[in-house]
Amino acid sequence: MTLPVGISTVTVSGTYTHPDGTPMRGTVSLCPHPGKIVAATSGLVVQGPAAQNLDAAGSFTMTVVATDSAGISPTGFTYDVRIAFTDAPGDSFPLSLPKATPTVSLPAATPAASPASGTYLVVNLVQSVNAKTGAVVLAAADVGADASGAATSAVSAHTGASDPHGDRAYGNATFATTGALSGLNGTVVTLNGYLDDLLNRVTAVEQGTAFLAGLNVVGPIAASGNISHTGAPGTATIGFWGKTPTTRPTVTGSRASGAALVSLIAALKNLGLIDDQTTS
């Protein structure tokens, strides 16, 4: 992972061999002595060791955060360097890696006198107020406030005035005058009459007492009670095409003799469902 822009780095490298030039084997690690380094601006958190295994030539290269990089806290710390060989005794020492020396040969580097945790920076420390430093005393003008007592004077002048709001002239039409309320009341009464009439009509439809000028039905009709003629409401009678309402007719007679057919034709005629123009 590449370190964020603005973080200074130092590239550390080195090669380790035996006296006869044979490459040594092992690991080199650098760990911040404070344990954790934070760069608040970029959100970077550095902790734990950065480690590299020696390659086939006994060499390594790694790039780490400079110990005095801008924007990090603490600054001026040291790294704990640990060199662990698998075929020779290892080594460990503190090391400072300032940004002024961007490349360092670890075998030739001079260890620090002692480990250092560095100096922690106070973030967002207020340096001055209105260009004033030290023990700052602000006057009302420094923060755009009224002078002491100004508000009290303004309130006293307002309450003592005979007409403190003389600049605000309103006409009667602005307020709910008696005349305006009377007109509004008349409108409400008229509207209430319309609503009462509407409710009466709906009630008549729901209770079956309404007389409709016409009725168009697209779907099926379901009636829970008797269907009666307007000429005899409330009775079990009905008539079609202007016929006098009559009760449900009874068809009698023998089918074999044709008497039942004659009775049926008479019944349908009485209901008004047919215009009987048959002959005997």
HSE-CB at 235 with a 13 A cutoff on CA atoms is: 13
Q: Give dist(CA 264, CA 242) in Å, integer.
A: 20
Q: Give dist(CA 238, CA 257) in Å, integer.
A: 30
Per-10-residue mean pLDDT, the chain, length 280: 84 96 96 86 85 96 92 88 94 94 93 76 62 75 76 78 67 64 84 91 81 80 68 70 82 90 90 85
Q: What is the dihedral of CA 107, 110, 113, 114, to 10 degrees?
A: -40
DSSP 129: B
Under CATH, which architecture does the 9-108 domain have? Sandwich (2.60)
Q: How many CB atoms lie within 10 A of CB 174?
A: 8
**Segments making up each domain of the chain, as ranges:** 9-108, 229-280
Kindly report whether the global pTM for this prediction surpasses the value 0.75: no
Residue 119: the pLDDT is 66
Yes or no: say if 98 and 145 are a contact pair by the CB < 8 Å rule: no
> Which one, of 117, 110, 3, 22, lies nearest residue 62 by Cα?
3
Which residues, listed in sequence order, are joined to residue 52 by a DSSP beta bridge?
A: 28
Residues 6+ apart with CB under 8 A from 275: 269
> Which one, of 249, 246, 244, lies nearest residue 262 by Cα?
249
Yes or no: say if 116 and 74 are a contact pair by the CB < 8 Å rule: no
